[in-house]
Amino acid sequence: MRQHVSSGSPYEERYGFARAVRVGDRVMVSGTAPIPQDGSEPPTTAFDQMLLCADIAVSALEELGGAVTDVVRTRMFVTDPDEADEVGRAHGEVFGAVRPAATMVVTRLLDERWKIEFELDAVIDA
């Protein structure tokens, strides 16, 4: 059985994707940008943007029956390698006890205000 959830991001409808998809015991959360639900500006620091992205992604995971402890892989896409430590520290605050496999890549993102985009994969009851 396949389930999906939406976060309400305008990109989901426009680009034809779901925030997260669950198939069996696996959950994949799409690239998650630091877009506040209330439509306000994203946080200004990479650390706070990472925390927001993680919160959005984990909330989607929880909607599909998972928990942060089910996370097995994360991917962080950062725009500035000088901010990698900030992003990594925020990642550690959220996922440090879980210790998922993780990758950080430097790239350009769709909105110049974004310093981070984030994905996660989980296996329920892993």
8 A C-beta contact, residue 72 and residue 44? no
Q: Among 3.40.50.720, 3.40.1190.20, 3.40.50.300, 3.30.1330.40, what is the CATH number of 2-123? A: 3.30.1330.40
Q: 73: closest CA among 104, 105, 100, 103? A: 100
Grouped pLDDT means (10 residues each) for the chain, 126 residues: 86 90 98 91 98 97 98 99 98 98 97 97 90
Regarding pTM above 0.85, the answer is: yes
pLDDT of residue 126: 59
Give CA–CA dist 36/12, Å, rounded.
Answer: 15
